[in-house]
Structure 1
Amino acid sequence: MNNIAQIKRNYQLIKFRKLVIVSILIGFLSAFLGVVLKKITEHYEEIFFSKANINPIFFIVFPVFGLSIIYFLREYLFKKKENKGIKEIFESTNTKSKNLPSYKIPSHFINGLLTVVFGGSTGIEVSTVVASATIGSVAQRKENVFKQYKTELICAGVAAGVTALFGSPIAGILFAFEVISKKLTRAFLITNLIAVAIAFGLIFLLEEKPLFAVNITTWHIKAIPYFILLGILAGLNSVYLTRCVLFFKSQFSKINTPYYKILLGSAVLSISLFIFPQLYGEGYHSIKTIFGSSTEIPLTITLAFTFFGLLVLKPIVTSITLASGGDGGVFAPSLFIGAFLGLLIASILNTFFNAGLIPVNFMIIGMAAVLSASIHAPFTAIFLVCGLTNDYTLFLPLLVVSLISKYTAKIIYPFTVYSFSPSIAN
């Protein structure tokens, strides 16, 4: 009996060691992929966006070129296999037979890059999440001993990828838990904590800076009613975004000829970019610009209509980008919508009601609020936005507004882009 007990203990120890080693490997590879994709995208998006600003004809050329290249790559290099985004991860974690094939790594990496660089109005976050989840899935299949840890290792890849993009290991783990796993096991904690620690170590060594360099000042109790208003409006905007994505995907799926999808999608995208260049790519360049000048911009009718136009058009253009073949999701669009929504509300209240609000604070809280409501993951949104700014001054209002926006959205429409299924809705 002692021998049998000893063999079992040795087996468990060997399995634990292997799990630790594979978690380290997943963490490093997923973080490396995320950092590389982010750096390449930022570099070329800046170059192409500058070219288009100098010569607006490129706002027309880039989208049709980008969507066409993605179509041909998907048709001939990736064997006509369509990318479904985060739903692919759910399909894999919910069934034993379905796995994330290894081609998903280059497919999402390349297509996500091309979508954003050529003006597609989305971000690389979902592309990174699916590619890094695939790293976890491939690692899980390499050893029979990891058979029972499929979800945990996929989540480890996801958590490391999110950590690399946003510089927040807490957001990485929370996203893997709130959106993907929804179960907290000992194996989940071990694999995910190791993976995000390695990912955070890598971005620390690379001296990655927060995406938004912004000076945040403290908040005041008198702003609480306005925060509540922001939470409700953020929930409404997130529902609008979700319904847009689902509607346009449904409508475009009825178009059988891929070329028509590309032409229609790129036409809408090109016209929108021509009118509102702020919609180009993930839109972080526009957020950085308004962060730097939000306190100096007086609200005029023209500016108010510009902000309103961006809030109306961003969900439509994002949806059409995805429906016509682009690769991406609602992460970056949610942050974009939240920033402009927060700025618009603060500007209106300051101009017409002399509220004395701090626009930057409303932009940051708006980003978390719309993201929270769009993916039904308030704690992920809070820590992700804190990671983006490397500042926790607004933690309490972020918590309150993110919860309000999530439950506002859930009451109005119970689904997210990830959880919607026609069979459930009917």
Structure 2
Amino acid sequence: MFNRIFQHRIFGGKGKLFALSVLVGVITTFAVVALKMLAQFFHRQTAELAQIAPWMQWVVPAFPAVGILFCIVFVRYILRRDKYVKSLDMVIQSTTEGHGKIPFHHSFAHIITSGVAVGLGGSAGLEAPSALTGSAIGSNIARWLKLSRESCVLLLACGGSAGIAAVFNSPIAGTLFACEILLPSMSLPALAPLLMSSAAATLLAGWLYTGPQFLQTAVQWKMVNVPYYVLVGLIAGLVSAYIIKITILVARHMHKLRSVWIRGLVGSVILYLFFLLFPQLMGEGYQYIAALAYGETGRVTAGILNHPSMLLVLLPLLFLLKPLVSGLTLESGGDGGIFGPSLFCGAMMGYFLYKVLTLCGIPGLTPGVFICTGMGGILAGVMHAPLTGIFLIAELTGGFQLLLPLMIVSGLSCFVSKNLVRYNVYKSMIVEKGGNPEPTEASLILEQIQVHQIMQTDMVTFRQNQRLGELMKIMLEVKQSIYPVVEEDGTLSGIIREEDMRRFVYKETIHNLVLACDLMLPPEPILHSDDTLKDAALFFDRIRCWHLPVCDNGRLVGMLSKADVLDCFKEKISSKPELF
């Protein structure tokens, strides 16, 4: 008996999901490590080629175009796909719609495409591909095991959190990322598997990958500088809204070019010019963030503004041009994410504000604080996820002593960005594609149920030539408020309402003179059996009726009442299971 209880509690139900969340985290980590190693390999090769001769400075900016061309060829001729989603908007839609389904090829394809594209200098990050890969792994494991929709969504979120945790070595940020961005609503019970998946990913990634870490810095902040952190938060909100808008604008204009080859060519030419003038825009740009943090500003000034005195001109150009260049990289056919560019913009903006305030004669400012809070603020504003921005930067930099400045900046940035742009960058993409980024729970439930599942099929029907007296007898015997009038073959001719017949109850002289065809009204908008209850609810509200006929090929198959829809909705709401 103890063994049965142990197996049921530990290896059945939630215990099984708990174990699967760890498994998803482990598999995702192997995928993310492979992605990082592939990107590092191409990055090293590119750096070595750049040192061959001085004339290579004209060739290196063309390497991202090679990455874009590779991605296009790989997607069209290896994956054989006309469409290839590279953003997390697909993941968010699958969780908000409650099905948690992501095509299998996303479990491995982004390892190759984003590894090559970013490694060759594409202006994007590896974080979104990592999260997308992990989400696809979790989703497909759940589908292979034929788990419920809720379990599929949970494992998808576990994969996404593990992807962020593995790529950044930040388990708390990975968990919060899943809660704030991937899942439609915060679920406290779901935190346990999310935490385990992120923890497993972080531990394994730290053991497998020994490459360069992002940035480790110990900085102190002063209470008297809080007003300046408020300024950073407000400006970060404005820049975040700009990043969202410019990303959507680039996508909108690039998609006007129907051919993927023309998009790739046009984008590659524009990117070459940008990279030639501003080589700092190539790749993720994390090396420039570290250079600013360690005071090596000479490494940042390059290209046409290759002079220390031009730093204040260069920095705003970099954080204003980076989202434009990143959008071009992705929309031209490359693969990557917006995480890296957001961190780059935040660091450049933060250091720029530090230099401006310092030139204004304000003493006691620390550049590391402005860089870190700038990154957290931009990330929080672009994602509309303040907790993710706070803890990601704290874990990345080892600067947990900066929690208070990060809270101020991330909170203000998110507030300002939300007031300027309704949705974050991913949900804005969903809106741009014509989708609904935040469907209500009621809408999702009604979309999952078809009319034939709850319609009434045993209703009494009339013929057109039946007399009123006969109809009256049937009405007194049957509790039905609406009566369909049908032909011999079942084709719907019209409907008769009970209240319309009650007017003639005491007019017996006409009971044998009036026929059903004299009383019937044209049928209301007709539903089909495969319509959803959401379609039916729209009709009920639009024409303010209580019953609708259901027909297939013109023949009556049932009736649907508003009361049946409401009862079904209440039942689904009361029986909806938790994620975990």
Q: Same fold by TM-score, threshold 0.5 exceeded?
A: yes
What is the CA deviation profile of residues 112-171 of structure 1, one whole-angstrom value per residue up to 9, with x for unaligned ones? Answer: 112211221111111111010001001111223444312111011011111111111110
For residue 109 of structure 1, report the CA deviation from its aligned partner.
Answer: 1.4
Instruction: Say which of 226, 229, 232 aligns to 1:227.
Output: 229
Is 1:47 the counterpart of 2:29 in the alignment? no
Partners of 1:21 and 1:217 in 2: CA distance: 39
Q: Name 1:16's counterpart in structure 2.
A: 14
Q: Name 2:158's counterpart in structure 1.
A: 156
Instruction: Say which of 340, 351, 358 aligns to 1:350.
Output: 358
Q: Name 1:65's counterpart in structure 2.
A: 66
Is 1:121 the counterpart of 2:119 in the alignment? no
Instruction: Note closer, same or farther for the CA distance 1:409–1:178 as it changes in structure 2 (3 Å cut).
Output: same
Q: Name 1:404's counterpart in structure 2.
A: 412
Counterpart of 1:18, as a letter, is K
For residue 352 of structure 1, report the CA deviation from its aligned partner.
Answer: 2.5
Q: Is the 8 A contact 1:152 1:187 kept in 2?
A: no
Q: Name 1:419's counterpart in structure 2.
A: 427
For residue 73 of structure 1, report the CA deviation from its aligned partner.
Answer: 0.8
Q: Is the 8 A contact 2:38 2:119 kept in 1?
A: no
Instruction: Say which of 339, 360, 381 aligns to 2:347.
Output: 339
What is the CA deviation profile of residues 60-118 of structure 1, one whole-angstrom value per residue up to 9, with x for unaligned ones? Answer: 43122111111111111122231141011123223355721111122211111122112
1:2-401 alignment, distance < 5 Å: 10=8, 14-52=12-50, 55-80=56-81, 81-95=83-97, 99-185=101-187, 188-206=190-208, 211-293=213-295, 301-401=309-409
Partners of 2:171 and 2:102 in 1: CA distance: 24
Instruction: Note closer, same or farther for the CA distance 1:226–1:118 as it changes in structure 2 (3 Å cut).
Output: same
Q: Compare the two structures and name the one with the higher strand fraction.
A: 2
Percent of pairs with identical residues = 31
Q: Is the 8 A contact 1:364 1:385 kept in 2?
A: yes
Counterpart of 2:418, as a letter, is K
Partners of 2:218 and 2:398 in 1: CA distance: 10
Q: What is the TM-score when the length of structure 2 is the normalising length?
A: 0.68
For residue 209 of structure 1, report the CA deviation from its aligned partner.
Answer: 7.5
**Most deviating of 296-305 and 74-83:** 296-305
Counterpart of 2:347, as a letter, is A
For residue 198 of structure 1, report the CA deviation from its aligned partner.
Answer: 1.3
Q: Compare the two structures and name the one with the higher helix fraction.
A: 1
**Most deviating of 351-360 and 410-419:** 351-360
What is the CA deviation profile of residues 261-281 of structure 1, one whole-angstrom value per residue up to 9, with x for unaligned ones? Answer: 111111111111111111111
Partners of 2:286 and 2:34 in 1: CA distance: 17
For residue 295 of structure 1, report the CA deviation from its aligned partner.
Answer: 8.2
Partners of 2:228 and 2:212 in 1: CA distance: 27
Report the secondary structure of 2:13's partner residue: helix
Structure number with higher relative contact order (C-alpha < 8 Å, ≥ 6 residues apart): 1
Partners of 1:174 and 1:186 in 2: CA distance: 11
Partners of 1:68 and 1:46 in 2: CA distance: 20
Q: Is the 8 A contact 2:102 2:140 kept in 1?
A: yes
Aligned-residue Cα RMSD (Å) equals 2.6
Q: Is the 8 A contact 2:95 2:184 kept in 1?
A: no
Instruction: Note closer, same or farther for the CA distance 1:223–1:209 as it changes in structure 2 (3 Å cut).
Output: farther
**Most deviating of 186-195 and 159-168:** 186-195
Report the secondary structure of 2:101's partner residue: coil
Report the secondary structure of 1:393's partner residue: helix
Report the secondary structure of 1:103's partner residue: helix
Q: What is the TM-score when the length of structure 1 is the normalising length?
A: 0.92
Instruction: Note closer, same or farther for the CA distance 1:312–1:200 as it changes in structure 2 (3 Å cut).
Output: closer
Partners of 2:47 and 2:384 in 1: CA distance: 32
Instruction: Note closer, same or farther for the CA distance 1:210–1:285 as it changes in structure 2 (3 Å cut).
Output: closer
Partners of 2:87 and 2:298 in 1: CA distance: 39
Q: Is the 8 A contact 1:294 1:359 kept in 2?
A: no
Report the secondary structure of 1:328's partner residue: coil
For residue 225 of structure 1, report the CA deviation from its aligned partner.
Answer: 1.1
Q: Is the 8 A contact 2:46 2:60 kept in 1?
A: no
Which blocks of at least 5 consecutive residues in structure 2 are unaligned? 302-306, 438-580
Say which one has the larger Rg.
2
Q: Is the 8 A contact 2:10 2:16 kept in 1?
A: no
Which blocks of at least 5 consecutive residues in structure 1 are unaligned? none
Partners of 1:381 and 1:208 in 2: CA distance: 25
For residue 327 of structure 1, report the CA deviation from its aligned partner.
Answer: 1.4
